[in-house]
Structure 1
Amino acid sequence: MKRWHLPEVSHVIPEEPMNPKSPGAARRFVSRLPLARNRPWIGYSVALLLTFVAWAIRYTIGDGLPPGFPYLTFFPAVIVTAFFFGVGPGTVCAVLCGMLSWFFFIAPFGSFELHFSSALALGFYAFIVSVDITLIHWMQVANRDLDAERRRSIALKDNTEVLFKELQHRVGNNLQMVGSLISLQKNRMTDEGARAALDEASRRLGLVGRIQRQLYDPAGAQVSLAAYIDQICRDVIAASGRTGLGYEFIANADTVLPPDKAIPTALVVAEALNNAIEHGFGSREGGLIVVTVAPFEGGTEVIVADDGVGLPEGFDLARAESLGLKIARTLAQSLGGRFTMAAAPVGPGTVARLEIDAPLVGPAAID
């Protein structure tokens, strides 16, 4: 069994690396086509260069090809020019290639005489290059529109995340402000029972506010139970002001929780932790609390164990008068689980268990 502390989770999404072999780099390159739109002379210069290269290759091949292939080297030049530099340079390249193939490679050679066979060949060439250039143009327009829509979606997503985080933060602040108002009202009360009730309500509102700040995924993604419980436990211990308490977190398994189950689960665990701090240790400054997430009969259990004074003689959770323990039992039942408390099997202390119907993810045990 391996014991480990979960690191704090960073929610900064790294930028996509500029790897030319990655799909993202290819997508960004295609979305920028045609190239050099603000410097059209580059595209037309490339059109002239590729036209000359295509003609030179075809002229070198000469009679090495059977009759009927006058455009073999010209089609690639037109397609490459249109694909990388757009309709204008592609059209110029198509016209020049057509004129050169007509003069040099369509009978009667060395002239622009037009016969039925040459007209048919030129018509076929014009149809093919027109279709190629048109399809390439439509593809580039569609890619630009898609890229613009993708950028708008990313901006909207980022804006939504910011607003959602701000909303969660404000809700947490408002809850803690209400808790502070209750604490102020407590100072006006003379009845000790009323003061204790208001103090408990203020503490629970403050806890819910801290929990609320951690549930800020606008996509509704499920929460890692291990990381979530570890952070909640750290917050509760820090809020108690006990500096001498030792804390250990053990993750034998992990699971995921939907947001609607995250707050009740955290409240039950926080109640068990508070009970250990207030009643298990009492006025004792030092002590050890061990929180474990482990598999349990098709579900998951969270165990809060302490080495405090233990439970009173004859303790029965079902008859406990503590409001916090009653709340913990009720919340556990709402989760479809069970909350129990028992004496530690070895030595003094108490073991509180929360069993919930949350299937494991990944390996069932972390060795």
Structure 2
Amino acid sequence: MDTGPVSSRLFGAAADLRQRPRLGYAIAVSAFLIALLTRFGVNAFLPSGFPYLTFFPAVLLTAFFCGTGPGLLAALLSVAAAWYWFIPPLDSFALDVQSGVAVLFFVAILSADLLILHIMHSALADLRREQARSRDLLEQQKTLFAELQHRTANNMAFISALLSMHKRKAKDQPEVVAAFESASGRLDTMARVHRRLYDPTSMDMPVQTYLRELLADVIGSSGREGVDIVVDCEVAHLDVNRLTTVSLIVSELAVNAAKHAFDGRGGRLEVSLLRSPDGGTYTLRVRDDGPGFPDGFDPSTSDRLGFRVLNSFARSLNGQMAFRTDGGAVTEITFPAKA
């Protein structure tokens, strides 16, 4: 049975009572009186001895819930009561050697118990203070991080606006316009990846779900309709650095497919992230059902910016990239499972 919530409530109640010393001392006296009356009540049923039977729990519970001071008060009252009424000779504070040893042992045991409880509560109080400081620091970090992401998004939007402005100025130069459009498109892709990666709702999202939603967003922004997106992922989670790189790779390939494979039609885009049988490597595969690569075209040696970008991403994963035509363009990147 899970006792976590119960213990938390007990420690919480003890912390509250320790903030109210007057109530704590009143509880100490009450606990002592209840222990004393109980001891008188069971006296006829007990064999000789057991003078402290009901006083131990009263002292320990008082010290636990109310603090060292009330616990010490309950202990002193209990020692005096047990000594006077339940240790021979009864109804007096006289002691023989045997009784004196018994009283000393009772005092020693109570002192050790009170010391242990005091140390435990002091350590718990220190832990609570550290937890409070950690929560405050975490909230500050979250606030600063959110502000950083907001500023990053604003900067991306500003750069995109600058690119659009310069593209309009170069409307009579098709190659320049195309370069600005390509840069603007990649910036838009980075902004989409950034927004999704650092969305708090995406933190615990499986990679398969994350990639499916990202691709739907990228294809949707391209204006292509009727594209069937299929994602097959054997890897549940990736660290944020490699997930960022994988996101940029599949987004770049999805944009290329939207331009060349799905031009004027719908189609099918398949993305898989598979684990090797020995678990040592992952293979990222992106396939479309378009015409594929032209005959004799080797993307790995192409000077096109898109393929240079993909090669750079593959190297950042310590991976190897391969291209082929198999019912469409197929791109594969194999990289180590461990970063």
TM-score range, shorter chain: 0.7 to 0.9
Q: 1:229 to 1:285 in 2, by over 3 A?
A: same
Shift of 1:277: 0.8
Question: Where does residue 117 of structure 2 map in the other structure?
Answer: 136
Matches within 5 A, 1:91-130: 91-113=72-94, 120-130=101-111
8 A Cα contact 1:271 1:325, kept in partner: no
8 A Cα contact 1:300 1:358, kept in partner: yes
- Structure 2 Cα separation of the partners of residues 152 and 101 of structure 1: 46
8 A Cα contact 2:300 2:322, kept in partner: no
SS, match of residue 253 in structure 2: helix
Question: Where does residue 337 of structure 2 map in the other structure?
Answer: 358
Q: 1:247 to 1:155 in 2, by over 3 A?
A: farther
Q: 1:37 to 1:255 in 2, by over 3 A?
A: closer
SS, match of residue 17 in structure 2: coil
Of 250, 261, 268, 1:288 maps to 268
SS, match of residue 169 in structure 2: coil
Matches within 5 A, 1:45-124: 45-59=26-40, 60-61=42-43, 64-67=46-49, 69-113=50-94, 120-124=101-105
Please report the TM-score for the alignment, with normalisation by the length of structure 2.
Answer: 0.84
- Structure 1 Cα separation of the partners of residues 245 and 62 of structure 2: 63
5+ unaligned residues in a row in structure 1: which ranges? 1-19, 361-367
Question: Where does residue 326 of structure 2 map in the other structure?
Answer: 344
Structure 1 residues 34-62: Cα deviation after superposition (integer angstroms, max 9, x where no partner): 55346656544543443334334444335
Shift of 1:104: 1.3
Aligned AA (2:82): S
Aligned AA (1:291): V
Aligned AA (2:213): Q
8 A Cα contact 1:225 1:257, kept in partner: yes
Q: 1:100 to 1:22 in 2, by over 3 A?
A: closer
Q: Which has the higher contact order (CA 8 A, sep 6+)?
A: 1
SS, match of residue 254 in structure 1: coil
Q: 1:116 to 1:34 in 2, by over 3 A?
A: farther
Shift of 1:115: 5.9
Q: 1:332 to 1:308 in 2, by over 3 A?
A: same
Question: Where does residue 248 of structure 1 map in the other structure?
Answer: 229
After the TM superposition, which of the residue ranges 56-65 and 101-110 deviates more from structure 2?
A: 56-65
- Structure 1 Cα separation of the partners of residues 274 and 19 of structure 2: 62
Question: Where does residue 286 of structure 2 map in the other structure?
Answer: 304
- Structure 1 Cα separation of the partners of residues 27 and 118 of structure 2: 18
5+ unaligned residues in a row in structure 2: which ranges? none
2:212 aligned with 1:213, yes or no? Answer: no
SS, match of residue 229 in structure 2: strand
SS, match of residue 341 in structure 1: strand
Q: 1:263 to 1:51 in 2, by over 3 A?
A: closer
Q: CA RMSD in A?
A: 3.1
Please report the TM-score for the alignment, with normalisation by the length of structure 1.
Answer: 0.78
Q: 1:359 to 1:234 in 2, by over 3 A?
A: farther
- Structure 1 Cα separation of the partners of residues 154 and 216 of structure 2: 19
Of 180, 187, 199, 2:181 maps to 199
Question: Where does residue 154 of structure 1 map in the other structure?
Answer: 135
Question: Where does residue 172 of structure 1 map in the other structure?
Answer: 153
- Structure 2 Cα separation of the partners of residues 93 and 328 of structure 1: 76
Question: Where does residue 363 of structure 1 map in the other structure?
Answer: none
Paired-residue identity, %: 34
8 A Cα contact 1:55 1:73, kept in partner: yes
- Structure 2 Cα separation of the partners of residues 227 and 144 of structure 1: 43
Q: 1:131 to 1:22 in 2, by over 3 A?
A: closer
Shift of 1:153: 0.9
- Structure 2 Cα separation of the partners of residues 326 and 253 of structure 1: 28
